[in-house]
Amino acid sequence: MYTQVYFHPVRRIYDRHLKDFLHQWTDGAGLPTDTERHLKLTDHETYAAILEAADDPKKAGHEPARRITERDHFKEVYRRTRSDVEKDPEAAELIGGALEREFGPESIRCDHYRGRGGAPDFPVLMPDGQIVSSIDQSDVLKTVPPVAVDFVFCAPEKRTRVSRWLKKHRERIVSRVEREEGPSS
C-alpha cells in the first residue's frame, strides 16, 4: 500500500512540477535554510505564489504552476519493468535521456527513486509484555525488497508522438545496440 500511495505516478509528477516551480520561483536558490526565514514560509505563501505565477506567463515558475493549477500534468510514458532492468539496470535513465534528446528536456521529466533497502525495525509489544524487534517477529518484514521506482513523463500535448517514438525505439535504447552503434531516429 505504501508504494501504491507514495509512488503513484500522478503523485510523483505533481511532486516534480512542484519542485520545478520552487526552483524557478527561488531563482534556483532553493528554500531558505535559516530557521527563522524557513518557518515564516508556509504552504499558504507558496500556494499563493503558485496561483499568481499560473495566472501570469511573465512570472517565474509560470509553466509548472499552470500545470499544477489546471491539472495539466505531464503523463506517464514509461515505467520500470523487470525485463528492461535485466537488460540494463539503468534502462529508465537511458530511455529518459533518449526522449530528452528527441523531444527536448522541457517536454520530458524523469523520476527515479531507490530506497535504502532493509526492513523497518521498530519495537513490538508482545502479549506477555516483552518488547521485541519487528524484524525478529515478522517473516514478511525480513523479505521486503527495497523500493525502486522509475518513471518517464512527457508533456500531455506530445504524449501520442512520444509514445509512438518510444514504442519504435524502446528495445534498441535498452539493449546494448544503442550504446554500441549510437541513437537512430
Q: What is the pLDDT of residues 134-180, one digit of tens each?
A: 888 888 877 777 788 999 999 999 999 999 999 999 999 998 654 55
**3 state SS of 30:** coil
pLDDT at 178: 47
User: How many independent structural domains does the chain possess?
Assistant: 2
For residue 182, pLDDT over 90 is answered with no
Considering the domain architecture, whether residues 44 and 93 belong to the same structural domain is answered as no
Helix (H) or strand (E) holding 99: helix 91-103
Q: Do 67 and 120 have their domain in common? A: no
Average model confidence (pLDDT) across the chain: 90
Q: Do 46 and 91 lie in a common domain?
A: no
Beta bridge partners of 105: none
Considering the domain architecture, whether residues 100 and 171 belong to the same structural domain is answered as yes
Residue with cell 505563501: 45
User: With contact defined as beta carbons under 8 Å apart, do 39 and 45 qualify?
Assistant: no
Domain check: are 170 and 135 in the same one?
A: yes
Residue 93 — pLDDT band, cuts 50, 70, 90? very high
Do residue 121 and residue 94 come from a single domain?
yes
The answer on pLDDT for 50 being more than 50 is: yes
Regarding whether 31 and 45 lie in a shared domain, the answer is yes
Contact 40, 46 (CB under 8 A): no
CATH number at 127 reads: 3.30.70.1370
Q: Dihedral of CA 21/27/33/34: which sign?
A: negative
Identify whether residues 16 and 80 lie together within a single domain. Answer: no
Per-residue confidence at 181, pLDDT binned at 50, 70, 90? Answer: low
Are both 86 and 102 inside the same structural domain? yes
Per the CB < 8 A criterion, the answer to whether 141 and 119 are in contact is yes
Q: Please indicate, yes or no, whether residues 121 and 177 belong to a single structural domain of this protein.
A: yes
Rounded Cα–Cα distance for residues 141 and 146 (Å): 11
Are 114 and 26 contained in the same domain? no
- Whether the full predicted model's pTM is greater than 0.85, yes or no, is no
CB half-sphere exposure, 120, CA atoms < 13 A:
6
Task: Determine the structural domain holding residue 119 and report its residue range.
Answer: 75-185
Residue 25 reports pLDDT greater than 50: yes
